[in-house]
Structure 1
């Protein structure tokens, strides 16, 4: 959202980091498959690169709640829900529908494509295109939930009581589903772990972070030097530990045996975001730079494009080579080639599809 006072370069660059992590996660999965053995700190960020999705959810909560926080702080009227909904449609729907259409043409699964176009979970039914689509269904659920909760809190009275009551009910249900059964109590539905029900903590932490940011961002004294740098390093080390442990357990098993790791990821990402926005870390240029900002700008296109590019480019060579592929130079060169190709295609789709609708979106007062 690039309305007045809402564009933050740091968040654009963090979005670039998120898509890089997701890309590495899928590179490993398509190239090597399941990992067996020890997990080093660096490898944890690759095997647990799906934490980039958690980061995207935190960023969504932050950015989408910011107008409501700002209006409340200024004593202004609540943002228009109609304009909010129109902005969301213009942002995600056009490119997504193009991706669904292409997938339907390639796979021939038009009925599944219709379900996907309505933001329903379709899993791997349109592989490799639909691998990442579940996150858009989850985002869409949050898009509906956010204005309902914001308006209830805004109006106060019974509406606010009902909102807090719903939050308490969700928390109890969440704990009974993901915490109380223990590691040996499987979740009834795998997709529950993917829905906004299971991923709401990440969105909520982003919402809370937005409120903290608005309260502190205008203070003349920002955290400087070694304190904020140490804070980010500690959070980064903690995140690596969480990702490494989840990778050791295994991605699928961790979804039901230790689903709380997503909440720990979200908490640590939230700390990194706030420290980066409110402080002056000494190594900020490592993350906040033009290449990362470019990746952040192209991240939505890259997100939808990179898995099909990786799959078709790698499997056309990996399949005939079989086991010999993993030890060959192809296993290292092809992911780089796929990244360059994905970035190139993403730039085209950004310019031809995303940007025209973004220009319309930016005219909407919200």
Structure 2
């Protein structure tokens, strides 16, 4: 029988027998909590971008000033890395199970089909709508349109935040999907030759560590050797610099599978880890300035904080009291429509600002943020039921399980 240290003699047992061992709790049992986190992250993204509208970044790329630095640090706590960590975790866990404990994974074609119908229809419609309204006369900025439709705008310093500013992160999502359908099966195949479960775990976790370290090395090289300023956005926002968030989520998936039902966190431990993770993320936002090393490595560091926070939620032995907040119906619904909210909030915000529907004074920023949140949320609800939900039904065309076999289509942006 296979143990954590492998067999002393004889051939490795069939992989299917590993199913009798402990299983990672997985994301399905924590669906409401993860969805609530997504809702909070999506709403905070809207508040963050309204803040940028009112205060603007300075020439060095540092966060815009706000009178109360404590509140400013809270608002400027960027959460895009949380989405990367979540994607890395949810999409990798099936590969981690197959690599460590045996079993099959979804074919690459099915995986990519589900990813395409999940993000592309809404993305293309939003890009085409916004681009056409901002390019009223042809030919317009065709390079910008082409780069957005091919998810390559993240590599263009001039276009990276144009048309749909937040959509730069979708370029990284697409890169991650393509990477995963190649690297995942390769990892599963490589682990078939490793007899000891501990060795398979070490192999997978080591690969995740290397994937996390590579962007850190690139950032160090770009900043201190090439002396590239932080405002050269493709250098520090491209996959070569921001893949660490996905790698951290992948590492969490490996850890969850490796632990199975062992070491489940109790209430106080879970709360302590959650407080430490949130406190660490807030501290990074508070102290990060262009001249500080924390600013240079802000995103890899916050990715680690979000990973610890996710671990403190999904690997628990029982329902944790404060998790009731994450299961609030409104936050769950915000998580459900978070992709539409992510795509439409900036166009809604800019249209309202250009139309004079937002208060102009910085002192009225809270009111402006509330107005944008309400209007963008309404647009997101319509977008979800008119565009996202009908497109998600296409998953049944290639999934005999009726779209119920996997958890991630409903939760990953």
Is the TM value for this pair above 0.5? yes
* Equivalent runs, 1:166-185 vs 2, <5 Å: 171=213, 174-178=216-220, 181-182=223-224, 185=227
- In structure 2, relative to structure 1, the CA distance for the partners of 1:124 and 1:338 (3 Å cut) is farther
Contact residue 208 and residue 247 of structure 2 kept, 8 A: no
Distance in 2 (alpha carbons) for counterparts of 1:65 and 1:338: 34
1:284 aligns with 2:284: no
- In structure 2, relative to structure 1, the CA distance for the partners of 1:232 and 1:174 (3 Å cut) is closer
Distance in 1 (alpha carbons) for counterparts of 2:332 and 2:255: 24
Name the SS of the counterpart of 1:317 in structure 2. Answer: coil
Which of 101, 120, 123 matches 1:96? 123
Look up the match of 1:305.
Answer: 344
Distance in 1 (alpha carbons) for counterparts of 2:50 and 2:29: 33
Name the SS of the counterpart of 2:279 in structure 1. Answer: helix
Look up the match of 2:104.
Answer: 77
Name the SS of the counterpart of 1:275 in structure 2. Answer: helix
Distance in 2 (alpha carbons) for counterparts of 1:180 and 1:105: 36
Look up the match of 1:225.
Answer: 267
* Equivalent runs, 1:217-366 vs 2, <5 Å: 218-219=261-262, 222-246=264-288, 249=289, 258-279=295-316, 280-317=319-356, 325-327=361-363, 329=364, 331-361=365-395, 364-365=398-399
Look up the match of 1:118.
Answer: 150
Q: Which runs of 5+ in 1 are unaligned?
A: none
Name the SS of the counterpart of 2:94 in structure 1. Answer: helix
Q: Which moved more, 1:107-116 or 1:302-311?
A: 107-116
What is the root-mean-square deviation in Å for CA atoms of aligned residues?
Answer: 3.5
Distance in 1 (alpha carbons) for counterparts of 2:100 and 2:144: 44
Q: CA deviation at 1:343?
A: 0.9
Distance in 2 (alpha carbons) for counterparts of 1:106 and 1:47: 29
Contact residue 345 and residue 376 of structure 2 kept, 8 A: yes
Contact residue 65 and residue 72 of structure 2 kept, 8 A: no
Look up the match of 2:55.
Answer: 32
Contact residue 45 and residue 240 of structure 1 kept, 8 A: yes
- In structure 2, relative to structure 1, the CA distance for the partners of 1:169 and 1:80 (3 Å cut) is closer
Look up the match of 2:256.
Answer: 213
- In structure 2, relative to structure 1, the CA distance for the partners of 1:362 and 1:294 (3 Å cut) is farther
Name the SS of the counterpart of 1:156 in structure 2. Answer: helix
- In structure 2, relative to structure 1, the CA distance for the partners of 1:332 and 1:309 (3 Å cut) is same
Which of 151, 157, 165 matches 1:131? 165
Contact residue 55 and residue 65 of structure 2 kept, 8 A: no
Q: CA deviation at 1:257?
A: 8.0
Contact residue 226 and residue 282 of structure 1 kept, 8 A: no
Flag the structure with higher helix content: 1
Give deviations 1:166-192, integer Å, cap 9, x for gaps.
Answer: 986994674154268449932595202
1:22 aligns with 2:45: yes
Q: CA deviation at 1:110?
A: 3.8
Contact residue 139 and residue 196 of structure 1 kept, 8 A: no
Distance in 1 (alpha carbons) for counterparts of 2:300 and 2:72: 21
Look up the match of 2:228.
Answer: 186
Query: Which of these two proteins has the greater Rg computed from alpha carbons?
Result: 2
Question: If the length of structure 1 is used for normalisation, what is the TM-score?
Answer: 0.83
1:13 aligns with 2:36: yes
Distance in 2 (alpha carbons) for counterparts of 1:129 and 1:209: 34
Number of aligned residues: 350
